[in-house]
Amino acid sequence: MPRLAYLGPEGTFTEEALRLLDPAAERLPCATVSAALAAARGGEADGAVVPLENSVEGAITTTLDEFAWGEPLLIDAELLLPVRFSLLARPGTEIPHIKRVYTHPAAITQCRAFLSRELPDAVVVAAPSTAAAAQEVSLPGSPYDAAIAARIAGEHYGLVELAGDIGDRTDTVTRFVKVARPGRPLPEPTGADRTTLVVFLADDHPGALLEMLTEFSVRGVNLTRIESRPTGDGIGRYFFHFDFEGHIADARVGEAISGLHRVCGEVRFLGSYPRADGVVPRVKRGTTDEEFTEAGDWLARIRAGQV
């Protein structure tokens, strides 16, 4: 039974994602994303489940930076989790009596319309996580009357749901990834895969980003995400996160990564793994594995003088 670290305490959306990704795993709640990844790196856990991006809030920058600067970890699975916020309170609480609400800043942002409409006079205070908010509200003598969190948090901490699905958008999704230490075989290609890289420029010059993008474009590799993050070496100095269709075992993907290795300062491979949405890429003419093999055989004949 694997032991997986995650952003705790019990009742977070990350725990819900972990339960779906590996229902049999032993769960190790951690105070932060960094602590969960540290547990995986240090051997306290066999791996970790962490949020990577949200369809409303965008990238989880702590996760991006950990993947770029920390000891290497490899993604072996992902999950797209619909985010449904609930207003949770101690039994007997009624909405008109709520004066102080506790929740994570992302929940505040995503539930603005509900808060403005139903709790216009309530003070809303930021918490470390939605589950931590629910845990605090459950305590006798808590200064908070309600929490905004996942329904699972109410189940953990004995709170009742006063209102459900209170987010401003009903289609909000968070993408979670499961990571482990390198050394085990990569997931086998499925035909509907995603690969993730962190790429550092060799130097800053005109067209540097275009050079990187060209390595993907000429091989028909479709990007699904690109993020820039500061290196910390001064204003205007950035490294890049890439997600793209395909598996490193695919010839076009391997060729693109090799090309990046030649022109960039550093390329950190973060894994090839099945896409959670199951989307199969459209492979354009001239970039199939068979066509790469045929071209390689043709070049070998030319080099051998067999024109």
Domain parsing of the chain, residue ranges: 1-82+172-184, 86-163, 185-307
Residue 286 is predicted with a pLDDT of 92
The pair of three-digit structure tokens given for residue 159, joined into one six-digit string: 């709170």
Task: Write the class of the CATH domain 86-163.
Answer: alpha beta
Rounded to an integer, the average pLDDT of 214-224 is: 96
Q: pLDDT over 90 for what percent of the chain?
A: 88
Domain 185-307 fold: Alpha-Beta Plaits (3.30.70)
Q: For position 128, what pLDDT does the model report?
A: 85
pLDDT at 8: 86
Provide DSSP, 75-132.
EEEEEEEE---EEEE-TT--GGG--EEEE-HHHHHHTHHHHHHH-TT-EEEE-S-HHH
| pLDDT tens profile 75-133 | 999 999 999 999 999 999 999 999 999 999 989 999 999 999 999 999 999 998 899 99
pTM above the 0.85 mark? Answer: yes
Region 279-289 average pLDDT: 93
The pLDDT of residue 234 is 83
Q: Are 111 and 166 in contact (CB under 8 A)?
A: yes
pLDDT of 212 strictly over 90: yes
For residue 59, which phi and psi values (nearest 5 degrees)?
Answer: -70, 150
pLDDT digits (tens, 9 = 90+) for 231-266: 988 888 899 999 999 999 999 999 999 999 999 999
pLDDT of residue 106: 87
How many Å apart are CA 275 and CA 229, to the nearest integer? 24
* Contact yes or no for 142/148 (Cβ under 8 A): no
CA proximity to 25, closest of 5, 42, 50? 5
Distance CA 51, CA 81 (A): 10
- Residue 160 · residue 95 · CB < 8 Å: no
86-163 and 185-307 share one fold: no
- The answer to whether residue 203 scores a pLDDT higher than 90 is no
Residue 210's pLDDT band (cuts 50, 70, 90): very high
Q: Taking the mean position of all CA atoms in its chain, how far away is CA 221? A: 21
CA distances from 199 to 84, 98, 107, 209, 268 (A): 34, 48, 31, 10, 6
CATH of span 1-82+172-184: 3.40.190.10
Q: What Å distances lie between residue 38 and 71, 105, 210, CA to CA? A: 9, 24, 34
Confidence of residue 296 (pLDDT cuts 50, 70, 90): very high
If you average pLDDT over every residue of the chain, what do you get? 94
Q: What is the DSSP string of 234-267?
A: STT-EEEEEEEES-TTSHHHHHHHHHHHHHSSEE
